[in-house]
C-alpha cells in the first residue's frame, strides 16, 4: 500500500493534470460538453497506454541504446527537476514545448487528445523515465501490481480533472491554478533531486566495491 501511495503521488505530481487544465479549456472552448468529455476520456486513455508501454517496454529500449539504469535516473531526475522549476515559475506550457507557434498549431487540429494533450503535456519524458526506473527497482509481482494500480488511478484522475476543467477554472481561476501548480512544482523538484542524488550515491558505492 505504501508503494501504491508513493507511486501515485510521484506520477500525479510529475504529470500534473492541473497544469494542463488551461490548455485543455483553451483547446475545447468551442466544443460541446459531450465532445469535451470525449476528449478528456481519450486523453486519459492515451496517457494510460503510454504509461503502461513505458513501464513494460522501456527496459528493452534502454538495453537497445546501451543506457544504464543509473544514467536514466540521473537524466530523468534532471528532467523532473526542470519540470518542477517550470511549474514554480509559471512556464509549464513553454517547458512542455507549447510555445506560440505550437499553440496555434494545436488550436487548428481536429483531434488533440493524443497530441498535444497526452504527449507532451501529460505523459512527458519525466513520467516515462520514472516508470522505467520503477520497473527496474521493483521486480516483485505484488510491487508491479501496485504500480499498475497507481497508473490506472492516475489515468482516472486525469480524466476527472480534464472533464471538470471548465468548472475548476471557474472555481479556482488562473491564480488558484497557478498557486496549486507552484506547490506541486516544489514537490516535483524534490522528487527529481532525490532521483539524482540516489543515483549518484549508487554509482559512488559501485565504484568503491
What confidence tens digit (pLDDT) does each residue in 94-137 have?
555 555 554 444 444 447 788 778 887 888 888 888 898 898 88
Q: Report the distance separating Cα 127 and Cα 121, nearest Å.
A: 11
User: Which residues have a Cβ under 8 Å from the Cβ of 141 and sit 6 or more positions away?
Assistant: none
Q: Domain boundaries in the chain?
A: 2-208
The beta strand positions in 91-153, using DSSP E, are none
What confidence tens digit (pLDDT) does each residue in 48-78 have?
999 999 999 988 887 887 888 788 888 888 8
* Length of the chain in terms of residues written: 209
Contact 196, 71 (CB under 8 A): no
Q: Report the distance separating Cα 119 and Cα 46, nearest Å.
A: 9
pLDDT, mean of residues 188-204: 84
Looking at residue 155, its pLDDT comes to: 96
Looking at residue 103, its pLDDT comes to: 47
> Among candidates 17, 153, 177, 173, which has minimal Cα distance to 96?
17
| Per-residue CA distances from 30 to 19, 25, 35 (Å) | 20, 9, 10
pLDDT over threshold 90, residue 178: no
pLDDT over threshold 90, residue 161: yes
The pLDDT-based confidence of 93 (bands split at 50, 70, 90) is low
What confidence tens digit (pLDDT) does each residue in 4-31 have?
999 999 999 889 888 888 888 878 887 8
Please tell me the chain's helix, strand, coil percentages from 3-state DSSP, rounded to the nearest 5: 85, 0, 15
Q: Report the distance separating Cα 77 and Cα 79, nearest Å.
A: 5
Contact 151, 51 (CB under 8 A): yes
Q: What is the value of pTM for the model shown?
A: 0.79
The pLDDT-based confidence of 196 (bands split at 50, 70, 90) is confident
pLDDT, mean of residues 165-190: 81
> Among candidates 119, 133, 3, which has minimal Cα distance to 59?
133
Amino acid at each position: 500500500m505504501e508503494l501504491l501511495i508513493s507511486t501515485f503521488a510521484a506520477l500525479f505530481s510529475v504529470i500534473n493534470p492541473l497544469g494542463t487544465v488551461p490548455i485543455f479549456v483553451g483547446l475545447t472552448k468551442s466544443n460541446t460538453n459531450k465532445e469535451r468529455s470525449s476528449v478528456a476520456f481519450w486523453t486519459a486513455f492515451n496517457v494510460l497506454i503510454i504509461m503502461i508501454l513505458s513501464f513494460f517496454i522501456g527496459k528493452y529500449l534502454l538495453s537497445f541504446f546501451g543506457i544504464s539504469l543509473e544514467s536514466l535516473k540521473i537524466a530523468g531526475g534532471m528532467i523532473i527537476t526542470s519540470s518542477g522549476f517550470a511549474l514554480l515559475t509559471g512556464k509549464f506550457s513553454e517547458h512542455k514545448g507549447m510555445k506560440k507557434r505550437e499553440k496555434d498549431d494545436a488550436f487548428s487540429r481536429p483531434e488533440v487528445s493524443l497530441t498535444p494533450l497526452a504527449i507532451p503535456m501529460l505523459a512527458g519524458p519525466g513520467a516515462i523515465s520514472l516508470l522505467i526506473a520503477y520497473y527496474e527497482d521493483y521486480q516483485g509481482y505484488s510491487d508491479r501490481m501496485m504500480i499498475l494500480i497507481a497508473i490506472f488511478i492516475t489515468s482516472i484522475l486525469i480524466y476527472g480533472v480534464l472533464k471538470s476543467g471548465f468548472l475548476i477554472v471557474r472555481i479556482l481561476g488562473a491564480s488558484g491554478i497557478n498557486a496549486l501548480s507552484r506547490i506541486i512544482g516544489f514537490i516535483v523538484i524534490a522528487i527529481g533531486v532525490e532521483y539524482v542524488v540516489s543515483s549518484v550515491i549508487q554509482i559512488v558505492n559501485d565504484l568503491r566495491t
